[in-house]
């Protein structure tokens, strides 16, 4: 693969996505083979948003590959206030071998990639969450043995997770359904981009949007949800609880999916809101397999870009 950054799944071909799944799975099975793969390499980890999974999996991952990670908290840089995105990129390229950024605006991530000559990995922006979606589809593949032809249904806000899931489905042949309340849909641009990617990949994927949670859940192989109010939307949380209530993943909704349907959640979960305990703690739930696979998938991405 001849990529310099990992900003969006859209940037990668279906073949390259399949290669990343294969690499991540091999790293998971044979971690010792990669114990010195990035020896002497340093990953700068910029966090404008807090995180449990993103920080631990990237920091542990670079360590397991023989390198080291440097955690940079919001106050350490204060992007676009204390220092420009361009200047941060030009500084870090002199000291480090890669950058992971977890931020708000997608333009911050792309701007950093434009500025820095070293690889930039999108750890999350308000528009996309590609590492999460790759780990999600890796998890589904492990449990179902395939991705092509599966119905993967996301219920909730048409947010960054939904956007990246659509892109991953397009590149793997999975049918991705997104069910959101009116006014909270993915943008037309993101839907059309994913559909164009699906047509180009020629794996038969369909990207479908609906306002009806039951329609999305019916016959699904995978039910996926996320918090109703993401970071930066705290002021909307109470209003969103009322609007999104019909999209809660509970036993009744899971009963509309296939009997052996998997339940996924990118975490953290607000139990009793977007998902009930009986679902997230059930035998159908693979949320902790999903969280673990963030480590393996991100190790594959780091190795691909930084080796």
Question: Catalytic one among 10, 106, 109, 132?
Answer: 132
Supply the pLDDT for residue 232: 74
Question: Catalytic one among 10, 129, 265, 296?
Answer: 129
In a domain, 224, yes or no: yes
Tell me how far apart the alpha carbons of residues 202 and 214 are, in angstroms, rounded to a whole number.
28
Task: Verify that 123 and 138 share a domain, yes or no.
Answer: no
Supply the pLDDT for residue 2: 78
Q: How many CA atoms lie within 13 A of 130 on its CB side?
A: 22
Supply the pLDDT for residue 11: 98
SS3 category, 76: helix
Task: Verify that 117 and 179 share a domain, yes or no.
Answer: no
Supply the pLDDT for residue 295: 98
175, β-bridge pairs? 151
Residues 138 and 21 sit within 8 Å (Cβ to Cβ): yes
Task: Verify that 106 and 143 share a domain, yes or no.
Answer: no
Question: Catalytic one among 53, 102, 141, 265?
Answer: 102
Task: Verify that 82 and 196 share a domain, yes or no.
Answer: no
Task: Verify that 139 and 286 share a domain, yes or no.
Answer: yes
46, β-bridge pairs? 72, 101
Task: Verify that 158 and 79 share a domain, yes or no.
Answer: no
Question: Catalytic one among 5, 157, 266, 296?
Answer: 266
Task: Verify that 222 and 86 share a domain, yes or no.
Answer: no
In a domain, 150, yes or no: yes
Question: Catalytic one among 64, 157, 226, 240?
Answer: 226
Place of tokens 């994913």: 194
In a domain, 182, yes or no: yes
In a domain, 3, yes or no: no
Q: Which residue range forms the structural domain that includes residue 15?
A: 9-128+294-306
Residues 269 and 278 sit within 8 Å (Cβ to Cβ): no
Total domain count, the chain = 2
Active site residue 102: yes
Tell me how far apart the alpha carbons of residues 228 and 127 are, in angstroms, rounded to a whole number.
15
Question: CATH no. for residue 283?
Answer: 3.40.50.1370
Task: Verify that 117 and 146 share a domain, yes or no.
Answer: no
List, run by run, the mean pLDDT of 10-residue segments along the chain (307 residues): 92 98 98 98 96 97 98 92 95 98 97 98 98 98 98 98 98 98 97 98 98 98 96 85 97 98 98 98 98 98 98
Q: Look up residue 263 and give its two tokens.
A: 């339940």
Angle at 273 (CA atoms; ends 270, 268), nearest 5 degrees: 20
In a domain, 1, yes or no: no
Supply the pLDDT for residue 86: 97
Angle at 146 (CA atoms; ends 57, 220), nearest 5 degrees: 90
Task: Verify that 102 and 145 share a domain, yes or no.
Answer: no
In a domain, 4, yes or no: no
40: region left, alpha or beta (phi > 0 left; psi from -120 to 50 alpha):
left
Question: Catalytic one among 97, 106, 240, 294?
Answer: 294
Supply the pLDDT for residue 15: 97
DSSP codes of every residue in 282-302: STTB-HHHHHHHHHHHHHHHH
Active site residue 129: yes
Task: Verify that 274 and 238 share a domain, yes or no.
Answer: yes
266: region left, alpha or beta (phi > 0 left; psi from -120 to 50 alpha):
alpha
CA distances from 178 to 94, 104, 122, 133 (A): 42, 22, 22, 14
Task: Verify that 88 and 200 share a domain, yes or no.
Answer: no
Task: Verify that 136 and 285 share a domain, yes or no.
Answer: yes
């Amino acid at each position: 693969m001849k990529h310099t950054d990992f900003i969006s799944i859209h940037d990668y071909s279906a073949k390259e996505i399949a290669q990343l799944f294969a690499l991540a799975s091999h790293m998971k099975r044979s971690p010792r083979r990669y114990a010195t793969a990035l020896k002497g390499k340093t990953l700068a980890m910029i966090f404008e948003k807090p995180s449990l999974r993103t920080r631990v999996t990237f920091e542990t991952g670079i360590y397991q590959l023989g390198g080291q990670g440097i955690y940079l908290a919001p106050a350490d840089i204060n992007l676009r206030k204390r220092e420009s995105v361009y200047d941060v990129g030009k500084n870090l390229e002199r000291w480090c071998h890669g950058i992971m950024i977890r931020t708000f605006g997608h333009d911050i991530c792309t701007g950093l990639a434009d500025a820095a000559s070293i690889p930039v990995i999108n750890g999350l922006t308000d528009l996309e969450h590609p590492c999460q979606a790759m780990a999600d589809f890796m998890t589904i593949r492990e449990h179902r043995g395939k991705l092509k032809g599966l119905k993967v249904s996301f219920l909730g806000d048409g947010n960054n997770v939904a956007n990246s899931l659509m892109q991953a489905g397009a590149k793997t042949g999975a049918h991705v359904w997104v069910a959101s309340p009116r006014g909270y849909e993915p943008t037309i641009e993101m839907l059309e981009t994913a559909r164009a990617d699906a047509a180009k990949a020629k794996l038969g994927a369909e990207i479908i949007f609906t306002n009806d949670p039951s329609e999305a859940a019916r016959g699904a192989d995978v039910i996926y949800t996320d918090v109703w109010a993401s970071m930066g939307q705290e002021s909307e949380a109470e209003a969103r609880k009322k609007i999104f209530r019909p999209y809660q993943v509970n036993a009744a909704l899971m009963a509309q999916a296939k009997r052996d349907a998997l339940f996924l959640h990118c975490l953290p979960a607000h139990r009793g809101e977007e998902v009930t305990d009986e679902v997230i703690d059930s035998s159908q739930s693979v949320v902790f397999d999903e969280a673990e696979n963030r480590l393996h998938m991100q190790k594959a991405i780091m190795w691909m870009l930084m080796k």
